[in-house]
Amino acid sequence: MRYVNHEAVVKKMNKRLIVNGIFKTIFFAATLFALLVLAVLFYRIISQGVGYLTPEFFQNFGSRVPEKAGIKAALIGSIWLMCVVAPVSIILGVGTAIYLEEYATKNKLNDFIRMNISNLAGVPSVVFGLLGLTIFVRALALGNSVLAAGFTMSLLILPVIIVGAQEAIRAVPQDVREASYGMGATKWQTILNVVLPSAIPGILTGAILALSRAVGETAPLVVIGIPVIVHFLPENLLSQFTALPMQIYDWAKRPQEAFQYVASAGILVLMIFLLIMNSIAIFIRNKFSKRY
Amino acid sequence: MVQSFKKGSASQIDASSIVYDTQKLNLWYGNHHALKNIDLQIKENEVTAIIGPSGCGKSTYIKTLNRMVELVPTVKTSGEILYRERNIFDANYGVEELRTKVGMVFQKPNPFPKSIYDNIAYGPRIHGIKSKKILDQIVEKSLRGAAIWDEVKDRLNTNAYSLSGGQQQRICIARCLAIEPDVILMDEPTSALDPISTLKVEELIQELKEDYSIIIVTHNMQQAARISDKTAFFLNGEVVEFDSTDVIFSTPEDKRTEDYISGRFG
């Protein structure tokens, strides 16, 4: 007695192959749609903005005259901002991840913390802006400085860095940890010599991707009151400054048509900035990642 | 239940030659009672084999001897294990200290993704040896001790992952020798190896017992018969029989031991 009737299977085969083809087309169309929109966006920005990407654009401060408007203050300001966000968020984020993955015992409180860190990653950025305004700008009286904005942005991307670092640490096989413990190594020696060397490519990749989110984020900066027209460069961490997304936002909302082109040029600069950061992340991942 | 196996010839052994004295050891994973009233005495400079079917608790027992089993968060123990007459469960006995004296070789070769040299030097380094000259000597001595020096002496700086599985396992044994332990625990060290590599590791174990006490878990009964002096047969978390290997494999006292070694189950 056979249960599979091969003749019937062959007869129905055509129908199955057609359904397969239909779904393939649907999924391809979905991909194509996203790519097309992206291509149109790129085309518009490049065609509008590339004419404004002159050496003067990088040397001038903001101006009422579109031809004289430059991105110097915003570009340097964003780099200053990153100099605060990167160390603060990476040190706090990786430290938290190490504690949660390697030291924390499994109990309800720690499970609750773990779960809520993932939830924090989904909180809207404007909420973090309000938090920054209350704590750093007002309570700690840092004003709308590089430091206040840097701390706020660090809080914003901290959950992403923690979750990324936790995953990188978890990916280190348990048996090399056991090998280290088995020789009498302490937890910290094992983390430093075995876990981190293997986890660092993954940790850095996640951190850089999180940082590039911080570079492009606007809402928290608006909430904590970062100015848009700045005619000086920051001198120290307590200086006022402006950042790329603020500058672009300001240009884009101006009535003169020419400023739309300036905004496009600013977007191009921001995108190149992000592209460079992401390339570094990919480079680190490919160069240093060890496979088990 | 405890009386169901012979206590070796414990009365004739003087206390100083006993490395591990396990007394009424019980161990639970959560609610699962994995080890039940274990009493075992392990002598120095002998190879003690632990055999038994999967899930009988033999790996759990060997991992309890250096307290690696505590990496599982739900583990609870009762009873005592005296290592050189000191209870390893004492609050003031640090696991790091214990594991410096009791090395371990694992089932799957687990070298670090570092050079061969750094793998061997890892243990001495974490215990504070910095001198390059001393480290060089330790690396050579350990690799010779694990009978792999000639194969790797020209490429100490290549990654240990480039070696074959059998070579990796001997690197792991050398890494264990580098901390100059007193006891070496081996948890099915050849189960992931081919027959030729297995033979090499077995020969190595025979040489190592001159200087170390070795406890080896294996589910290969021929291996236990070939290399060990004493054999303990574990079943369902209990020691069914513990005696010299010759006795266990020729005239076992317990019916269950006989059934197991003659291949009737397991």
Complex ipTM: 0.87
Q: A189–B126: do the CB atoms touch at under 8 Å?
A: yes
**Contact yes or no for B104/B215 (Cβ under 8 A):** no
| For residue A186, pLDDT beyond 80 | yes
Beta bridge partners of B89: none
Residue range(s) defining the domain that contains residue A198: 57-288
- Chain B CB contacts of A110 under 8 Å are none
CATH number of the domain to which A214 belongs: 1.10.3720.10
Let me know if residue A253 belongs to a domain.
yes
Let me know if residue A131 belongs to a domain.
yes
What band does A205 get if pLDDT is binned at 50, 70 and 90?
A: confident
Let me know if residue A17 belongs to a domain.
yes
Of the given ranges (A158-167, A220-229, B159-168), which has the lowest mean pLDDT? A220-229
A258-276: per-residue pLDDT in tens? 888 889 999 999 999 899 9
Let me know if residue A70 belongs to a domain.
yes
List helix spans (H) across A99-145: 108-120, 125-132
pTM value > 0.95: no
Quote the minimal CA–CA distance from B99 to chain A in Å: 5
Looking at the fold, whether A158 and A78 belong to one and the same domain comes out as yes
Predicted pLDDT at B6: 43
Of the given ranges (A33-42, A63-72, B82-91, B194-203), which has the lowest mean pLDDT? A63-72
Q: B175–A179: do the CB atoms touch at under 8 Å?
A: yes
What band does A284 get if pLDDT is binned at 50, 70 and 90?
A: confident
- What value, to the nearest 5°, has the Cα angle with vertex B87 and ends B86 and B91? 115
**CA–CA dist B14, B60 (Å, integer):** 28
Looking at the fold, whether A103 and A78 belong to one and the same domain comes out as yes
Predicted pLDDT at B10: 45
Q: Report the domain count for chain A.
A: 2
**CA–CA dist B53, B174 (Å, integer):** 29
Quote the minimal CA–CA distance from A274 to chain B in Å: 32
Mutate to test the interface with B, among A183, A191, A194, A289 (most CBs of B within 10 A): A183
Predicted pLDDT at A107: 82
A193 inside 8 A of chain B by CB? yes
Nearest residue in chain A measured CA to CA from B162: A292
Let me know if residue A1 belongs to a domain.
no
What band does A51 get if pLDDT is binned at 50, 70 and 90?
A: confident
Looking at the fold, whether A137 and A161 belong to one and the same domain comes out as yes
Looking at the fold, whether A123 and A255 belong to one and the same domain comes out as yes
Predicted pLDDT at B4: 42
Q: A292–B98: do the CB atoms touch at under 8 Å?
A: no
In tens digits, chain B (266 residues) has pLDDT values of 444 444 444 444 566 789 999 999 999 999 999 999 999 999 999 999 999 998 899 999 999 999 999 988 889 999 999 999 899 999 889 999 999 999 999 999 999 999 999 999 999 999 999 999 999 999 999 999 998 999 999 999 999 999 999 999 999 999 999 999 999 999 999 988 888 889 988 999 999 999 999 999 998 888 999 999 999 999 999 999 999 999 999 999 999 999 998 887 75
HSE, side-chain direction, 13 A CA sphere, residue B31: 0
b/e per residue, A138-177, with b = 16+ CB within 10 A? Answer: eeeebebbbbbbbbbbbbbbbbbbbbbbbebbeebeebbb
A100-137: per-residue pLDDT in tens? 999 988 788 888 888 899 888 889 999 999 999 999 99
Looking at the fold, whether A271 and A176 belong to one and the same domain comes out as yes
A window 195-224, beta carbon within 8 A of B: 197-198
Q: Chain A to chain B, count of Cβ pairs less than 8 Å apart?
A: 66
Q: Which two tokens stand for residue B242?
A: 């513990």
**Contact yes or no for B139/B156 (Cβ under 8 A):** yes
A171 inside 8 A of chain B by CB? no
- Chain A CB contacts of B98 under 8 Å are 184
Looking at the fold, whether A107 and A237 belong to one and the same domain comes out as yes
Looking at the fold, whether A162 and A89 belong to one and the same domain comes out as yes
| For residue A292, pLDDT beyond 60 | no
| For residue A291, pLDDT beyond 70 | no
**CA–CA dist B237, B38 (Å, integer):** 8
b/e per residue, A64-95, with b = 16+ CB within 10 A? Answer: eebeebbbbbbbbbbebbbebbbebbbeebbe
**CA–CA dist A101, A177 (Å, integer):** 13
Collapse the DSSP code of B45 into the 3-class scheme (helix H, G, I; strand E, B; otherwise coil) and give the result.
coil
Predicted pLDDT at B104: 94
Choice between A175 and A292, residue whose per-residue pLDDT is larger: A175
Looking at the fold, whether A125 and A235 belong to one and the same domain comes out as yes
Nearest to A203 by CA among A77, A97, A128: A97
| Residue A127 CA from chain centroid, whole number | 17
**Contact yes or no for B254/B241 (Cβ under 8 A):** yes
Looking at the fold, whether A223 and A244 belong to one and the same domain comes out as yes
b/e per residue, B32-49, with b = 16+ CB within 10 A? Answer: eebbbbbbbbbbbebbbb
Looking at the fold, whether A78 and A31 belong to one and the same domain comes out as no
Q: Which of B73, B100, B103 sits opposite A105 (nearest CB)?
A: B73
| For residue A17, pLDDT beyond 70 | yes
- Residue where a domain stops, chosen among A36, A52, A68: A52
Predicted pLDDT at B124: 95
- Chain A CB contacts of B103 under 8 Å are 182-183
| For residue A149, pLDDT beyond 80 | yes
Predicted pLDDT at B1: 40
Collapse the DSSP code of B8 into the 3-class scheme (helix H, G, I; strand E, B; otherwise coil) and give the result.
coil
Mean local confidence (pLDDT), A31-42 = 94
- Whose structure tokens read 């081996």? B186
Beta bridge partners of B233: B51, B241
Looking at the fold, whether A18 and A126 belong to one and the same domain comes out as no
**CA–CA dist B97, B93 (Å, integer):** 7
Looking at the fold, whether A174 and A265 belong to one and the same domain comes out as yes
